[in-house]
Amino acid sequence: MHGPPWVGWLLVLLCAGAGAYCLSSVRRGTAAQRREARGEALMGLGMAAMAVPASAVAQPSWTPWVYAAVFGTAGLWALLRRHPHHAVGAAAMVYMSLAMLPGPGGGPGGGAHAAHAGSMEQMGSTGPGGLPVFTALLLTYYAVYVVAAGVRLAPAALPGTAAPGAADDGAAVPARATWPEVVGACRVAMGIGMFAMLLTL
């Protein structure tokens, strides 16, 4: 990933926090919810590891291949389980992993750019990594996903009904978030993180 190191560390905190929460939720809820939590934990922790600034931690040259193998497998599993959002997320992680591969001469950030140099030159791209069209599609997907998921998380107050958590005497009492709501918030956070990582590709 490119960009200032502080942006990378913010992404690490955001994604690691969301992934750690999902990992702590693996033993709660129904079987379907536990599977969801495992998928979200893998995505969050993987994103956190990938977002670590290269100036802080020098990763081995084979690290992108490990990311690609892990998330490629996760993407195939998500497709088999009919989880399209997880499949798109895994595909985005594989894509960013390949963009991390060193270019000709061992320079960083040239991976997908080097592998697809001819295609990118035809598109007029001078970006450090990735295919502009595919990056734009993923950015659009995550922008729409974050907005839609955020709207779904917003409480819908019906006319003539008391707000959730309101006491009988009229005093407002904070409503306790349910497990699906907190996991939904984690998904929004990771969607924002994925959007930011694609911007710095």
Give me the tens of pLDDT residue by residue for the chain, a chain 201 residues long.
Answer: 566 788 889 999 999 998 888 888 777 777 777 788 788 888 899 999 988 887 777 778 888 999 999 999 999 999 998 889 989 999 999 999 998 887 654 444 444 433 333 333 333 333 456 788 999 999 999 999 999 988 888 765 444 444 454 444 444 444 555 666 777 788 888 999 999 999 888
- Give pTM, 2 decimals: 0.72
- What pLDDT score was predicted for residue 60? 83
- What pLDDT score was predicted for residue 137? 95
Spatial neighbors of 2 by CB under 8 A, at least 6 apart, are: 109, 128, 129, 200, 201
- What pLDDT score was predicted for residue 93? 94
Q: Are 145 and 183 in contact (CB under 8 A)?
A: no
- What pLDDT score was predicted for residue 73? 94
- What pLDDT score was predicted for residue 111? 42
Locate 173 and state its tokens: 């009492």
- What pLDDT score was predicted for residue 103? 60
Longest dimension (CA), the chain: 72
Nearest to 99 by CA among 76, 120, 84: 120
- What pLDDT score was predicted for residue 2? 61
- What pLDDT score was predicted for residue 80? 92
